[in-house]
């Protein structure tokens, strides 16, 4: 996703970091909150295409 070469991690000056987030969706503003797995999240374009 970063557009790097496949072997960039071999360069000693490269630092690889990761992050983790919490994904949630409200049914409506101030409504019920549903926590999602990353595999459950679809972007709006994917929803339109089907």
Show the 3-state SS of the chain: CCCCCCCHHHCCCCCCCCCCCCEEEECCCCCCEEEECHHHCCCHHHHHHC
**Which 8-state DSSP code applies to residue 7?**
T
**pLDDT single digits (tens) 1-50:** 678 889 998 999 988 888 877 788 887 888 888 888 877 777 666 656 65
| pTM tops 0.75 | no
Structure tokens at 5: 């070469």
Residue 8, SS3 per DSSP? helix
């Amino acid at each position: 996703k970063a557009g790097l070469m496949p072997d960039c991690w071999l360069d000693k000056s490269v630092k690889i970091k990761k992050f983790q987030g919490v994904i949630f969706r409200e049914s409506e503003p101030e409504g019920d909150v549903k926590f999602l797995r990353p595999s459950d999240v679809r972007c709006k374009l994917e929803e339109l295409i089907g």
